Amino acid sequence: MTQKRQIIVTNALPYANAPLHLGHMLEYTQTDIWVRFQRMRKNDCYYMSADDAHGTPIMLTASQKGISPEEHIDKIRESHEADFKDFLISVDNYYTTHSPENQKLCEDIFKILKRNKHIEEREISQAFDQQENLFLADRYIKGTCPNCLAENQYGDNCEACGATYKPTDLINPISVLSGTKPVERESKHYFFKLSEFNDFLKDWLSKDVVTESIANKLNEWLEEGLTDWDISRDEPYFGFLIPGEDTKYFYVWLDAPIGYIAAFKNYCNHSKLDFNYFWGKDSPTELYHFIGKDIINFHALFWPSMLKSAGIRLPTKICVHGFVTINGLKMSKSRGTFILARDYLDNLDPDFLRYYYACKLSNSAEDLDLNLEDFVQKINSDLVGKVVNLASRCSKFITKGNDGYLHSEIDDKELWNIFSQSATTISENYENRNFSKATREILKLTDLANEYISDKQPWVLNKEHDNKEQVLKICSLGINLFRLIMIYLKPITPNLVRKAEDFLNETLLWDSSAHPLLNHKIKKFEPMISRIQNENIEAMLNSANDGKA
């Protein structure tokens, strides 16, 4: 018997400064599908998330709205939690990085890093906006790239040529906040000695914690040699004060990943879990981070190095995905394709987007295109026309012909075995986050089932009284094949499967795929989902256009 696994899963924490959009939902859907699969396999899988609630942007937005940062993040968190719930994201604890648990952990970890001589104080020169009276984060400075001379580039990297640099290297820099030219000012900052962790990181990355392509990218940075990491920010700033300081705060990217631990600690406070068992240095449990490819440096370089110094367990895997495009283009407010999660939820079933994303998701970091025409066609063809229609076309011969009871025998054992034995391949694809391969396998089975019913033509056989028994056997197998398809789709389309479970009069477990339902009473078939109409898409896009900035 396979030993039960104990797994902590996190997604990248959504920033508490704006509502969620369909790009966010790719990651949370990917994470949730994997979590639901693990739970179906009877593993203990704890899904933690939280709002990333600190930083200059939050402080500035709250100021513009005339409210406190705390009021601002509370309102955003409420909307984020509602979107998670309505998109069927089965998170166990949705918390916030602005919490007492996170503050205590940040302070404790900082003290350990300092004791281990991995923290250093330095005087640095920074860009300062005299009009706004604050030091400028890299993304609040724009100018001409010193490498390729492309204009209107941010203060940390050039989107035209990919070069990275210091904000002070920009040609003709201006503050995004005031439009004035920043001046340079000296300030004491705290640095984490990331440069001392090169060898550790090379060894750690060789242990299959990321895919080969991501490891290759990270190793390029390691070959160049890592620079030490500035983990402090000057006031005014919304965050946690550094111990012993009155005007200096932890940089948001120090306290955000610690928020994973804080969310779990908070969960342990109202459950019976042993926090130290899961987060101790030699913990036997697993830890999976699901993130986007734009933040791999924080999660696969800074974060494990900090954990190593602090004597805290390391991640088992960092699962990296790409970005979402809409109709082949970047999400854009000007094009009306910057679609909020709520724009979608107000007009369409969450299962539909979950299924479409799953059909395109692999374990690579390739970008994924949400082509709306293809989306409509795929949902209407796959889920409505093939999957649910299979149950629809078989059920009436059972509910009318045998009082709802399935036959006591399997009509085609070879076909049943093909479906049942597919659990192994589909399970491997789920485990390895190759959801597109899993859905292709499921759809192939769906086509086989529909071909079987079409070949047998029970509606023709049923016209002859002597064929009633054969019709019942054929349609009972059809329902059993539908049941297996629902088992395999359960991590992806929980709403649809919940309705199927009601129809089948059974809770579907992964292990249920080993045995058919025989002499079992099902309920009368009721429509489970409806076809997407063009009006649904138009209404969603109209909502997106109404929300243009």
Q: pLDDT tens digits for 500-540? A: 999 999 999 999 999 999 999 999 999 999 999 999 999 99
Whether residues 283 and 387 fall in one domain = no
CA dist 393 → 373, 476, 479, 524 (Å): 27, 11, 9, 12
DSSP 3-state of 454? helix
End-to-end C-alpha distance for the chain, whole angstroms: 56
- Write out the two tokens for 373: 């025409």
Whether residues 317 and 385 fall in one domain = no
Q: Which residues of the chain have pLDDT under 50?
A: 549
Whether residues 508 and 423 fall in one domain = yes
DSSP 3-state of 307? helix
DSSP at 547: T
Stated pTM of the model: 0.94
Per-position b or e across 491-513, b if 16+ CB within 10 A of its CB: bbbbebbbbbeebbeeebebebb
Domain of residue 501: give its range: 378-514
- Judge whether 175 lies within some domain: no
Task: Give dist(CA 338, CA 366) in Å, integer.
Answer: 20
CATH code, domain carrying 198? 3.40.50.620
| Residue 1, pLDDT score | 55
Per-position b or e across 433-447, b if 16+ CB within 10 A of its CB: bbbbbbbebbbebbe
Which of 321, 336, 367 is the C-terminal boundary of a domain? 321
DSSP at 14: P
Report the 10 Å Cβ neighbour count for 207. Answer: 11
| Residue 159, pLDDT score | 75
- Judge whether 404 lies within some domain: yes
Whether residues 279 and 382 fall in one domain = no
Whether residues 307 and 384 fall in one domain = no
Asked if 349 and 298 touch (Cβ cutoff 8 Å), the reply is no
DSSP 3-state of 520? coil
- Judge whether 405 lies within some domain: yes
| Residue 347, pLDDT score | 97
| Residue 549, pLDDT score | 39
CA dist 449 → 18, 406, 452 (Å): 45, 17, 5
List the one residue out of 333, 142, 113 whose CA is nearest residue 232: 113
For the stretch 90-130, pLDDT in tens is 999 999 999 999 999 999 999 999 999 999 999 998 889 99
- Judge whether 186 lies within some domain: no
| Residue 41, pLDDT score | 97
Strand segments, DSSP code E, in 31-176 are: 44-51, 93-96, 119-129, 134-135, 141-144, 153-154, 171-175
Whether residues 316 and 445 fall in one domain = no
DSSP at 511: G
Whether residues 311 and 391 fall in one domain = no
List the one residue out of 241, 273, 239 whose CA is nearest residue 256: 239
Report the 10 Å Cβ neighbour count for 218. Answer: 21
- Judge whether 426 lies within some domain: yes
β-pairing verdict for 153-154 and 134-135: unpaired
- Judge whether 82 lies within some domain: yes
Whether residues 417 and 283 fall in one domain = no
HSE, side-chain direction, 13 A CA sphere, residue 24: 23
CA dist 101 → 261, 285, 384, 505 (Å): 9, 21, 46, 44
In the block, which residue shows the tokens 């016209």? 463
Task: Give dist(CA 476, CA 405) in Å, integer.
Answer: 9
Asked if 296 and 326 touch (Cβ cutoff 8 Å), the reply is no
Asked if 63 and 228 touch (Cβ cutoff 8 Å), the reply is no
Asked if 488 and 354 touch (Cβ cutoff 8 Å), the reply is no
List the one residue out of 232, 211, 213, 217 whose CA is nearest residue 301: 217
Whether residues 67 and 201 fall in one domain = yes
Averaged pLDDT of the chain: 95
The residues pairing with 143 across neighbouring beta strands, listed in sequence order, are 153
CATH code, domain carrying 453? 1.10.730.10
Residues 6+ apart with CB under 8 A from 138: 154, 155, 156, 167
Give how many domains the chain has, as a whole number: 2
- Judge whether 542 lies within some domain: no
Asked if 299 and 205 touch (Cβ cutoff 8 Å), the reply is no
Which of 298, 321, 344 is the C-terminal boundary of a domain? 321
Whether residues 74 and 205 fall in one domain = yes
Whether residues 301 and 394 fall in one domain = no
Q: For the chain, how big is the Rg over CA atoms in Å?
A: 27
Which residue type does 191 have?
Answer: F
- Judge whether 529 lies within some domain: no
HSE, side-chain direction, 13 A CA sphere, residue 386: 20
For the stretch 25-65, pLDDT in tens is 999 999 999 999 999 999 999 999 999 999 989 998 999 99
- Write out the two tokens for 463: 């016209």
- Residues composing the chain: 549
Whether residues 384 and 317 fall in one domain = no
Alpha helices in 283-388 (DSSP H): 296-297, 303-310, 341-345, 350-360, 372-378
